[in-house]
Amino acid sequence: MISTFARVTLGAMLLLALAGQDHPPAKPAITVDYPLNGAVFPPEFPSPTFEWRDAAAEATTWTIDVTFSGGQPGLHARSAGERYTLGRIDPRCISPTNKPPVLTPEQAVGHTWKPDAATWAAIKKYSADGEATLTLSGYTAADPAKPVSQGRVTIKTSSDPVGAPIFYRDVPLMPSDAEKGVIKPLASTAIPLIAWRLRNVAETSSRVVLEGMHSCANCHSFSGDGKTMGMDLDGPRNDKGLYALYPVKPQTSITKENVVAWSAFRGKLGGKLRVGFMSQVSPTGQYVVTTINDPGKAESDYQRRIYRRDFNSNYYVANFKDYRFLQVFYPTRGILAWYSRATARLEPLPGADDPRYVHTNAVWSPDGQYLYFARAEAKDPYPAGVKLAERANDPNETQMKFEIYRIPFNGGKGGVAQPVTGASNNGMSNSFPKISPDGRWLIFVKCANGLLMRPDGKLYIVPAAGGEPRLMNANTRLMNSWHSFSPNSRWLVFSSKSRSPYTQLFLTHIDEQGNDSPAILIDNSTAANRAVNIPEFVNIPQDGLMKISAPVTDYYRLIDVAEEELRKGSLEPAIADFRKALAQDADDPMIHNSLGVALSRTGHPEEAVGEYRKAIALSADFPDAYNNLGGLLLSAGRVEESVTNFEKALQYSPDYAEAHSNLGAALAQLGQIDRALPHMQKSVEYKPTDANARRNLALALYRMGRVKEAVPQAEQAVKLAGSRDPNMLALLSRLYAESGRMPEAVDAARRALALVPNPGNFQFAEELRQRIAQNPATRR
């Protein structure tokens, strides 16, 4: 018989649902909160911490008696029932927008016991072919021989090992302000705090394999053979159209050569593709399936970057200040496309490319022959007149009811998509399909609306070919999602917020018949004030992935720093950093263009022209570069050449407001006011908040003698400029005067003069003074 006194080492956790008692004792009850009755542990799992509450408040010590259904000798232990304690806190993740983890009311009055290694080994050994029943008895200090309370829990140990490590993301929960349509739950300064870890469930802690990246990396996936990994990657300028695809090695490195830029694909998808969403690597690593925007109207790089139509038109995004559920996002439009590593081509998947629906969240069958995905009716993500959601499951969320479909891959030829019986047409939203590696089972999430990280998300299991779904026993009370099968199909890892707002990892056993057990906690996955999500089993040895370096993100960081310096007017540092970036990649047209802007602003127009020409040579459909080059040529008096470049910019971006305005100004200089006017009108139409565009339109109308039409444009220009531009006020004064509105003309003239430090040098100062003097009201 083995005796032990337990020591409590677990971190902060909330309690799971109460464990049922088969035969409630007559004495005051001890309620075992963890593990739950019927929980199944892997054979390699380390000692868990048992948690209970005792209705006998006077109890001060406890005994734990373990009996086995196979008749093996029992075990006996005593415990002081130490109180629950919170785990370590990461001070970097303390923020005004979150709260530290605290004990729940149950934990505050509860007790714990952690078997020592020998006791736990014996429990696992003798419960491998049956059950272990742990009976807890409470005793008072006055009578340590007579129990005053009692409770019990029955657990099992599976003969199925987990057999593979779990890769997952470790994130701080620090909500930040973000604009509508932008997936940005963290401030940019917090992104380097994100880490990626690998956990061997036989060990008591995880190891960090990737951290400190300044670019956000999102959904990842591994090939079934564990040889290839893919990860959605944010590039410079918040470019969410990058995907890293690289071999898995003990020492793995993500370089520029491993990065696929979805927007670089031309031909059938050319100019139409911006973002890949929830991409998944095929079982052999040869293909990637992803969700892309509906390839409708072709768009230039400028349109993709400036107008962000991908998120504004295809994704519902709401970011919250509630750190417990700090965002909701899901696509409302999109089709499936597949990428071939062999051909480096991206193609739509026939049968999952109907623009009437959104197709997303696709995963492969283990043999690579089928794709399972979520589908719903496509719609506008932000209906007119509906407020943006302020919390998770807010009724104002755009309502999307997804159904699980299956479609043959057929070598990329696709086929007919069919709904999976039991995972569709049930009045709920069904998403996040995962197929067991043995091909027998489909596990998915059912919730009221949308997909991903839903508070009401519950796991269901159904035969892979469809059938009667079953609510899984592993479900916790709050958020069940991000699940993954072990390579042997016997274990499922998933994320939940049932024990803490800081998401944790759980494990459940699944037998041959698809029956699952109550969830067990994978303890100490990170600090108590950090969250873990996107867990995925990786079919590699425990030491098959020790470290991931990402030098490509350092390059992206350099570009972002340079762009921020340019935005803030720190031009010399920006020039230096752009040159450093070009030393690493001389073929990036956007860097050449940005360097040209910086050089132009520092009085180096000839060098700037050279950079713009390099950008155009590298990307012949780059409207920014044409527009910027045209602007310098116009300033140099080379008006006709500037017109050619502005027209090129508009050829590739017809709704480029600034290019329309510049072309109008150039044509006006050539005396072609009739040709200039439509471009100025389009500039205002496409960008009505541009004060300069309004001013140029007012000038063109004035020169055509259409003074009354010019006045409101000049008024808007002055208003948009904050009444701080003397030239705009002077133009408005002239227009008022010629419209016979002298008091207003005088007022505008006076405001213009007041903004000029030295009116004597102001070319129209005398004209303004005369206008003031001519007003009869000023002579009284």
Percent of the chain past pLDDT 70, that is, above it, reads 87
pLDDT of residue 302 exceeding 50:
no
Give Cα 55 distance to the centre of its chain. 45
Residue 320: pLDDT band (50, 70, 90) is confident
Token pair listed for 726: 């003397």
Burial 747-766 (b: 16+ CB within 10 A, else e): bbbbbbbebbeebeebebbe
Residue 754: pLDDT band (50, 70, 90) is confident
Residue 553: pLDDT band (50, 70, 90) is confident
Residue 238: pLDDT band (50, 70, 90) is low
pLDDT tens digits, 333-375: 999 999 999 998 889 999 999 999 999 999 999 999 999 999 9
The three state secondary structure string of 331-400 is ECCEEEEEEECCCCEEEECCCCCCCCEEEEEEEECCCCCEEEEEEEECCCCCCCCCCCCCCCCCCCCCCC
Place of tokens 């000049």: 714
Q: Are 665 and 698 in contact (CB under 8 A)?
A: no
Burial of 568 (0-12, 13-18, 19+ CB in 10 A): exposed
User: Alpha-carbon distance 556 to 581, whole Å?
Assistant: 9
pLDDT at 256: 85
Residue 403 or 257, more confident: 403
pLDDT of residue 132 exceeding 70:
yes
Domains of the chain, first to last? 1-214+483-537 (no CATH), 553-721 (1.25.40.10)
pLDDT of residue 271 exceeding 60:
no
Percent of the chain past pLDDT 90, that is, above it, reads 72
For the residues 683-706, what does the mean pLDDT come to? Answer: 92
* Low-confidence winner among 247-251, 431-435, 556-560, 643-647 (lowest mean pLDDT): 556-560
Task: List the Cα angle 11/14/17 in 5-degree steps.
Answer: 135
Residue 181: pLDDT band (50, 70, 90) is low
pLDDT at 658: 93
Residue 715: pLDDT band (50, 70, 90) is very high
Mean pLDDT estimate for the chain? 88
pLDDT at 7: 29
pLDDT of residue 14 exceeding 60:
no
End-to-end CA distance of the chain: 113
User: Alpha-carbon distance 288 to 319, whole Å?
Assistant: 29
pLDDT of residue 50 exceeding 80:
yes
Place of tokens 């987990």: 162
Residue 5: pLDDT band (50, 70, 90) is very low
For the residues 365-387, what does the mean pLDDT come to? Answer: 96
Residue 236 or 613, more confident: 613
pLDDT of residue 184 exceeding 70:
no
User: Alpha-carbon distance 271 to 265, whole Å?
Assistant: 8
Residue 756: pLDDT band (50, 70, 90) is confident
Residue 472: pLDDT band (50, 70, 90) is very high
Residue 149 or 767, more confident: 149
pLDDT of residue 266 exceeding 80:
no
pLDDT tens digits, 566-621: 999 999 999 999 999 999 889 889 899 999 999 999 999 999 999 999 999 998 88
Strand order in the sheet with 458-463: 429-435, 441-447, 458-463, 470-471
User: Alpha-carbon distance 717 to 702, whole Å?
Assistant: 14
pLDDT at 237: 64
Amino acid at 740: G
pLDDT of residue 187 exceeding 90:
no
Residue 214: pLDDT band (50, 70, 90) is confident
Q: Are 61 and 81 in contact (CB under 8 A)?
A: yes
pLDDT tens digits, 80-92: 999 999 899 999 9
Residue 214 or 95, more confident: 95
Predicted TM-score (pTM) of the model is: 0.81
DSSP secondary structure string, 585-624? -TT-HHHHHHHHHHHHHTT-HHHHHHHHHHHHHH-TT-HH
